[in-house]
Amino acid sequence: MKKQHVSEAVIRRLPRYYRYLDDLHSKGVVRISSNSLGSRMGITASQIRQDLSCFGEFGQQGYGYNVKELRSEIGRILGVDNRHSIVVVGVGNLGHALMQNFHFADIGFSLDAAFDVSPSLIGTTINGVKVLDLSELDEYCSQHLPDVAILTVPQSAAQATMDRLVELGVRGFWNFTNKEVSSEKEDVQVESVHFADSLLTLSYRISKR
């Protein structure tokens, strides 16, 4: 794979390529042209070719892309073969919903544990995953350092929880607290899910102008 700077916009489009290719693959589509893939995704064929050129040579003039191969390649680039470990921190409604419904394994994540402070939750099992006492976090991380922690704690606890996890060695954060969290450590990566951004996009589209 070529090593070069890949823009944020391209990184954001990669999971969409993966999703569309995965869907095509599951429908039995064997190959697809960049034109046809582009029109499904609402982007241009030349955008697709340009995006993929960041990572190497894909597709063949006059043939298009082999769906299964391109899906695997993009999956590999995204790290779905790395079997990243992940834990839920905060088993409120949202943490619970993710544990119950999100298919972590489909995109290469292994959901290994969840943590909460509520006595009524500690010791229970949700979708095969045990809920542990938050006080066990240090011990847990010293034994099985997770690649990613899902922050589904209350907003007021967001930054402190992240700081504690960074201290314990966690470097990836999937942040659902709707609060900006950050770390001074350069190798810490935060991905925030901003529900409001999504709803505002819809608001824009339905607003009468």
Work out how close the CB of 61 gets to a second copy at its nearest, in angstroms, rounded to a whole number: 28
Shortest spacing between CB 118 and a second copy, in angstroms = 15
- Coil vs helix vs strand at 191: strand
Least distance (Å) from a second copy to the CB of residue 24?
Answer: 12
Residue number with CB closer to a second copy (101 or 143): 101
> Residue 173's beta-bridge partner residues?
149, 190
The CA–CA distances, whole Å, from 104 to 5, 81, 85, 101 equal 28, 12, 10, 9
Question: What is the smallest separation between the CB atom of 168 and a second copy, expressed in angstroms?
Answer: 16
The least distance separating a second copy from the CB of residue 67, rounded to whole angstroms, comes to: 17
Which residues would be at the binding site for a second copy (CB under 8 A)?
A: 1, 3, 8-9, 11-12, 14-16, 18-19, 23, 42, 77-80, 82, 84, 92-94, 96-98, 100-103, 106-109, 147-148, 171-174, 178, 180, 189, 191, 193-209
Of 4, 19, 12, 22, whose CA–CA distance to 191 is shortest? 12
CB-CB contact of 144 with 117 (8 Å) = no
DSSP code per residue over 162-189? HHHHHHTT--EEEE-SSS----S-TT-E
d(CA 16, CA 34) in angstroms, rounded, equals 14
